[in-house]
Amino acid sequence: MEENKTFTPANFKSDQAVRWCPGCGDHAILNTLHKAMAELGIAPHMTAVISGIGCSSRLPYYMNTYGFHTIHGRAAAVATGYKVANPEMTVWQISGDGDGLAIGGNHFIHAVRRNVDINIVLFNNKIYGLTKGQYSPTSDRGFVSKSSPYGTVEDPFIPAELVFGARGNFFARSIDVELATSQAVLAAAARHKGTSVVEILQNCVIFNNGIHNAITDREVRAERTILLEHGKKMLFGKEKNRGLVRDGFLLKAVTVGEDGYTLDDVLVHDAHTPSNFLHQQLAMMDGLGELPLALGVIRDVAAPTYDEGVSQQVEEVRAKKGFSTLRDMILAGETWTVE
Amino acid sequence: MLENTNVKTLDKVVVRFSGDSGDGMQLAGNIFTNVSAGLGNQVSTFPDYPAEIRAPQGSLGGVSGFQVSVGTGVHTPGDGCDVLIAMNAAALKTNHRFLKPGGVAIIDIDSFKEADLKKAAYTTSDPVAELGIKAQVVEVPVTSMTKAALADSGLDNKSMLKCRNIFALGLVCWLFDRPLEAALRHLRNKFAKKPAIYEANAKVLQAGYDYGHNIHASVSTYRIESPDPKPGVYTDINGNTATAWGLIMASEKCGRPLFLGSYPITPATDILHELAKRKDLGVKACQMEDEIAGVCSAIGASFAGDLAVTSTSGPGLALKSEGIGLAVMAELPLVVIDVQRGGPSTGLPTKTEQTDLMQALYGRNGESPLAVVAPASPTDCFTMAFEACRIAIEHSTPVILLSDAFIGNGASAWRIPTADEFPTIKTPDVPADMLANGSWRPYMRTENLGRYWPMSGTEGAQHRLGGLEKDQVSGAISTDGVNHEKMVELRREKIARIANDIPAVEVMGDADSDTLLIGWGGTYGHLRTAAEELCRMGKPVAFAHFRYINPLPANTGEVLARYKKVIVAELNTGMFADYLQCRFPETRILRINKVQGQPFAVSEVMEQTVKLMED
């Protein structure tokens, strides 16, 4: 990835009018993505943004990059083919909880498993917005919507758990209104080689307004979220005096200076450790009970990527066998001549 | 132009059973012979015993063989075999020379361990490469499957191993469609006094048959040959390999890398296999997680600027429909290969049909025209795969190539073309001046009404595509009704104009007769042979064969109008006949149809044509 600092967010904006509802969380995510791209310094013509179907999937139209608004659920497969065809491109996939985890669930887990070098941005608003308000695969059990008037009778996916189940090597989380965190994790996702999944808790102002409020409200956010940074103590709270410590195999939130806990007891975040045991526990904290919801880069581990693997294998086989044309290859096999 | 070819249903097939002298090859061979004779086949056998009755097990001297030719016009056990069963490494070594090009070797992979290879004096760990076997080799775990089938039988290990030959027999019965009842009868006689052994063999026979069924094992019993071959260098090729190679030729001729996104499905998987091998020519072949990902990854690769292909059979084409619709809407080059098999649903996976024609033409939502082509023979798969790529690129459209199980697996001698026999494919690159002055827009039209196709990473060519309708000028999203209708018309006209860029349909046989026999796709060999036979018999017919299905060649209507009787023969209930009928209502289309999972027999086409001529 060739980086320079000559781009501004405006270089990544297209001339299309943005058509999301006023107050939609997507606006903030779009702006932070423009900023993250400028920060990365990769030229617009070396960037591709590929999406499926849903509100969030309109995003490519608002980018001055290569863009493809494909079909429902299939963006990961389209992005995989695109990246393999041209590994030089920086490829983003924009998806929602319905697009990415319901109809596109299979492509999602296989993209993560293959570790193709794409950056998947998953807008999670726990609702189908474009079809006007049905429950999604991330809606909580009992959630009442137009298609579940008596409440759902099924459990949701937790995106991070799915990523770890598919052996993912990069997972980060942010909230639409946390602009600095969003920009930082999006840039980190692009710098990571391999499939990066960034879950952004997004507010659908029309069909699911306030779904994340219990965590994201200004009054509670500092106490109910923790920003994880590699190499730093896992501290949170308004006073930054709350910390995460080990409790057997599990995690516990404590107040530094109380119950005999000191700063030394607080864990240091290691996003690069290959084991995903602690990463999974961190990612599964929901912010609703004792433990805060984790934001930031939770896991970022280097591993071989699919697109590089394909290219390398082609190069190796070509170097070994060395056919330059189809005819050479065929003539090297069994043939006979008719005079 | 289509080569003159004759399709020969191999009126006889030769099977050679080979193994250790203790492996019971003679028994397996004898039962297969008797079962075939019971079906009315002529048979001729050649038992090939070793000189020593009990040479060391697994050694070259201990190999025993049994060759049988079954079918009609059988006068000898045959020189070479179509199917070779090799129960161990030594048997493969001593018998592979009998295998005909295009034949199949079935080997018990459990008997190819290091020690087995040593006993048979191999010098490497890759016996197939060491022996230079070019034919298809199917590795079957005969020993372990036999033991697994008999796990509950209470037989000791040695007795279980004695049943391996019957597993192989079961597999051969599957390949040649021999009923197991007859084989069981022979086993019952043989083991009349040992009911436990009979039971074990019966179980293993069924297991071998089921294994063939489960792995969709198939062997083509047809060859298509040219009676007057042109001078040149030849090789033996089947349709699926020819398809794969035609795509590579197109990649060489357009200068764009070849990308395949695919998912295994009978009978198309060999295309994936061949292209996966062709990393030595730079092909990027990706086995995706499902059929949908196969087509979608290809669409992504096409958007990035690669020559992109997905390969499948009928059920997979159904799954790809939405993706193909996206390629229609985004007007991206894409080649979709459908090696047709019997349907609907899972249908008859190893059998041939032409029943996906309507699916290919119309199986998408909305007004969704695309080009459809259909190769006529195994070797024509090369040409038509090339043509599919050429049309896709030069006309900015998905193209469906309708091959079928018969030509896909069918083999033929093929003259290896030189590169200059195929034209350069002109990629619709964005003109440099438009890029420089920023005037290019993604929905501007080429002279073929196609879109320009920039490579990803080209500075100044960033653009957004998508499945939503676009404004015909600016390329921005548009829900305007009048614009939509114009775009529908434009996409239709773009496909229709391909007719100016494909060869006219030729009339073969007796062009001046009153009757025109029509075929399309993989039935060419049988139909042409039938037409020529009829002419020879004094029942002259003209014959036209269609390889370009949508659009049809420009002279189609004019050709149809010349004949009093027009008969379409096809392996479905009349899809191409219906298609022609609605385009040319003034011609009454008569039909010859067969939907048995089998190709036409030349004789049945002749018979039904004469009947329609005389009606």
Give pLDDT tens digits for B246-295: 999 999 999 999 999 999 999 999 999 999 999 999 999 999 999 999 99
Structure tokens at B427: 């990629």
Q: Is A107 left (phi over 0), alpha (psi -120 to 50) or beta?
A: alpha
Strand partners, B138: B106
Residues B562-572: what's their mean pLDDT? Answer: 98
What does the pLDDT read at residue A1? 46
Of A68, A77, A314, nearest to B288 by CB-CB distance is A77
Provide CB contacts within 8 A for B389, sequence distance 6+.
B246, B247, B250, B251, B254, B307, B309, B333, B335, B399, B425
pLDDT value of position B417: 93
Q: Which two tokens stand for residue B234?
A: 């030849």
Give the mean pLDDT of A164-175.
98
For the ranges B12-16, B134-138, B576-580, the maximum mean pLDDT occurs at B576-580
Which of chain A's residues have a Cβ under 8 Å away from the Cβ of B304?
48, 81-83, 85-86, 89
Model confidence pTM above 0.90: no
Q: How far is B164 from chain A (nearest CA, A)?
A: 33
Task: Give the count of domains, chain B.
Answer: 4
Report the gap between the CA of B25 and the closest CA in chain A (Å). 30
Please indicate whether, in this complex, the C-beta atoms of A86 and B455 are within 8 angstroms of each other: yes
Task: Give dist(CA B41, CA B30) in Å, integer.
Answer: 14
pLDDT in tens, A26-79: 999 999 999 999 999 999 999 999 999 999 999 999 999 999 999 999 999 999
Determine the average pLDDT of the residues in B60-86.
83
For residue B468, give its domain range.
Answer: 432-500
Q: Is B293 close to A67, i.e. CB distance below 8 A?
A: no
Give residue B222's pLDDT: 66
Claim to verify: residue B51 and residue B154 sit in the same structural domain: yes
More confident of the two residues A125 and A322: A125
CB within 8 A of A15, min separation 6: which ones? none
User: CA dist A130 to A125, A144, B125, Å?
Assistant: 12, 17, 59
Closest CB to A86 among B304, B322, B463: B304
Residues B335 and B412 in one domain: yes
Our CA-based measurement puts residue A323 at a distance from the nearest CA of chain B, in whole angstroms, of 6
* Dist. CA B595–CA B575, nearest whole Å: 12
Q: Which residues of A touch B414 (CB under 8 A)?
A: none
In sequence order, which residues have a C-beta less than 8 Å from that of residue A299 and are 6 or more positions away?
Answer: A164, A168, A169, A170, A171, A271, A276, A279, A283
Q: How confident is the model at residue B36 (pLDDT cuts 50, 70, 90)?
A: confident
C-beta atoms of B301 and A61 within 8 A? no
> Does a structural domain hold residue B227?
no
pLDDT at B612: 97
Mean pLDDT of chain B: 92
A177-186, A192-201, A259-268, A321-330: least confident range: A321-330
- ω into residue B585 within 30 of 0, thus cis? no
Listed residues B447, B481, B500: the one ending a domain: B500
Of B472, B500, B528, which one is at a domain's C-terminal end? B500
Q: Is there a domain that residue B219 lies in?
A: no
Residue B456 has its nearest CB partner, among A86, A327, A336, at A86
Of B251, B285, B284, B290, the C-alpha closest to B270 is B285
Q: B420 vs chain A: nearest CA distance in angstroms?
A: 11
Q: Which residues contact residue B253 at a Cβ distance below 8 angstroms, ignoring those fewer than 6 apart?
A: B386, B390, B419, B422, B423, B424, B425
Distance (Å, whole) CA B564 – CA A317 = 58
Same domain, B406 and B341: yes
Chain A contact probe: residue of B456, B458, B479 with most A CBs at under 10 A: B456
**Among A290-304, B483-497, B552-566, B592-606, which is the least confidently predicted range?**
B592-606
| Position with higher pLDDT, B410 vs B454 | B454
pLDDT over 60 (residue A3): no
- Per-residue pLDDT reduced to its tens digit, B178-231: 889 989 998 998 999 999 999 999 999 999 999 998 888 877 766 666 666 788
- Is B493 domain-assigned? yes
Contact call for A68 and B282, based on CB within 8 A: no
> What is the arithmetic mean of pLDDT over B527-539?
93
Per-position DSSP letters for A163-190, written without gaps between them: HHHTT-SEEEEEETT-HHHHHHHHHHHH
- For B148, residues 6+ apart whose C-beta sits below 8 A from its C-beta are B207
Query: Any idea which of B28-42, B304-318, B498-512 has the lowest mean pLDDT?
Result: B28-42
B532, pLDDT greater than 60: yes
Please, is B345 exposed, middle or buried when counting C-beta atoms within 10 Å of its C-beta (0-12, 13-18, 19+)?
Answer: exposed
| Residues of A whose CB is below 8 A from B297 | 77-78, 80-81, 84
**Both tokens of residue B471?**
């404004």
Q: Is residue B161 part of a domain?
A: yes
What is the pairing mode between strands A170-175 and A293-300?
A: antiparallel
Closest residue to A329, CB basis, from B232, B236, B281 = B281
CB atoms B293 and A329 under 8 Å: no
Please check whether residues B495 and B549 belong to one and the same domain.
Answer: no
Of A69, A79, A337, the CB nearest to B467: A69
Position B67 scores a pLDDT of: 86
Contact A78 B282 (CB under 8 A): no
pLDDT surpassing 60 at residue A5? no
Contacts of A317 in chain B (CB under 8 A): 279-280
Token pair for residue A31?
């702006």
For residue B50, the model assigns a pLDDT of: 64
A321 at B interface, C-beta within 8 A: yes
Closest Cα in chain B, distance from residue A298 (Å):
27
Same structural domain, B475 and B569 = no
- Per-residue pLDDT at B13: 86
pLDDT band of B2, cuts 50, 70, 90: confident
Q: What order of strands is seen across the sheet that includes strand A235-236?
A: A235-236, A242-247, A250-255
Which of A60, A313, A338 has its CB closest to that of B229?
A: A338
Q: What is the pLDDT of residues B397-422, one digit of tens each?
A: 999 999 999 999 887 889 999 889 99
Token digits for A130? 């474009």
Tell whether B75 is covered by a domain.
Answer: yes
Judge if the upstream peptide bond of residue B349 is cis by omega within 30 degrees of 0.
no
For residue A44, the chain B residue with the least C-alpha distance is: B462
Residue B1 lies in a domain: no
Is B334 in the same domain as B397?
Answer: yes
Instruction: Return the CA Rg of chain A.
Output: 22
- The CATH number linked to B185 is 3.40.920.10
Q: What percent of chain A has pLDDT over 70?
A: 99
Question: Is the pLDDT at A4 greater than 60, yes or no?
Answer: no
How far is B477 from B244, CA to CA, in rounded Å?
Answer: 37
Q: pLDDT-based confidence at B576, cuts 50/70/90?
A: very high
Rounding to the nearest 10 degrees, give the CA dihedral for residues B237, B243, B244, B246: 100
Q: Which domains does chain A have, with CATH numbers?
A: 9-211 (3.40.50.970)
Question: Tell me, what's the pLDDT at B15?
Answer: 92
Are the C-beta atoms of B434 and B369 separated by less than 8 Å? Answer: no
Do B441 and B579 share a domain, yes or no? no
The nearest CA of chain A is from the CA of B458 a distance in Å of 6
**Cα-atom radius of gyration of chain B, to the nearest Å?**
27
At residue B115, does pLDDT exceed 80?
yes
Q: Which residue in this structure is represented by tokens 């061979």? A: B29
Instruction: Say whether residue A103 is in contact with chain B using an 8 A CB cutoff.
Output: no
Residue of A nearest to B323 (CA): A71
Q: What is the largest CA-CA distance in chain A?
A: 96
For β-strands B42-48 and B515-520, DSSP reports them as unpaired
Whether the Cβ atoms of residue B398 and residue B322 lie closer than 8 Å to each other: no
Domain membership of residue B538 (yes or no) is yes
- A interface test, pick of B303, B435, B463, B468 with most A CB neighbours within 10 Å: B303
From the list B280, B296, B303, the residue facing A77 with the nearest CB is B296
B-facing residues of A in 169-198 (CB < 8 A) are none
The answer on pLDDT for A253 being more than 60 is yes
Residue B363 reports pLDDT greater than 70: yes
Among B180, B214, B248, identify where a domain stops. B214
Q: What is the mean pLDDT of chain A?
A: 96
For chain B, the distance separating the N- and C-terminal CA atoms, rounded to the nearest angstrom, is: 33
Give B153's contacts (C-beta < 8 A, 6+ positions apart).
B160, B196, B199, B200, B203
Task: For residues B513 and B480, state if they share a domain.
Answer: no
Residue whose C-alpha is closest to residue B62's, from B98, B21, B92, B29: B21
Is B284 within 8 Å of A85 when comparing Cβ atoms?
Answer: yes
Same domain membership, residue B195 and residue B125: yes
Whether chain B has a CB inside 8 Å of the CB on A74: the answer is: yes
Is the same domain home to B537 and B606? yes
Under DSSP, the state recorded for B455 is P
B238/B357 same-domain check: yes
For residue B53, pLDDT beyond 80: no
Q: Chain centroid to CA A232: how far?
A: 22
Which residues of chain A make contact with B417, given a CB cutoff of 8 A?
327
Give dist(CA B318, CA A106) in Å, integer. 18
Query: What pLDDT score does B75 carry?
Result: 72
- Per mean pLDDT, which range of A170-179, B94-103, B580-589 is the poorest? B94-103
Q: Which of B251, B235, B246 is nearest to B271 (CA)?
A: B246
Choose among B261, B280, B457: nearest Cβ to A86: B457
d(CA B601, CA B529): 10
Partner residue opposite A61 with nearest CB, options B231, B302, B464: B464
Question: Contact, A338 vs B231, CB < 8 A?
Answer: yes
Chain B residues lying within 8 Å of A46, measured CB to CB: 457
Q: Is the pLDDT of residue B33 over 50?
A: yes
Instruction: Give the start-end residues of each E strand in B444-506.
Output: 464-466
CATH number at residue B536: 3.40.50.920
Chain B environment of A334 (Cβ under 8 Å):
101, 134, 235-236
Tell me the percentage of chain B whose pLDDT exceeds 70: 96
Cα separation, B594 vs A90, in Å, equals 52
Distance CA B387, CA B422 (A): 10
Interface contact A12, partner B, CB < 8 A: no
Question: From the CA of B407, how many Å to the nearest CA of chain A?
Answer: 20
Instruction: Indicate whether B546 belongs to any domain.
Output: yes
> Which of B236, B304, B417 has the CB atom closest to A85's CB atom?
B304
Partner B, chain A 199-238, Cβ-Cβ below 8 Å: none
Residues B108 and B209 in one domain: yes
> Using the beta-carbon criterion (under 8 Å), do A318 and B279 form an inter-chain contact?
yes
**A112: closest chain B residue by CA:** B289
Q: Is A338 on the interface with B (CB under 8 A)?
A: yes
Distance CA B174, CA A190 (A): 54
Residues of A in contact with B418 (CB under 8 A): 327
CA distance A317 to chain B (A): 5
Closest CA–CA distance from residue A60 to any residue of chain B (Å): 7
By the 8 A CB rule, do B570 and B577 touch?
Answer: yes
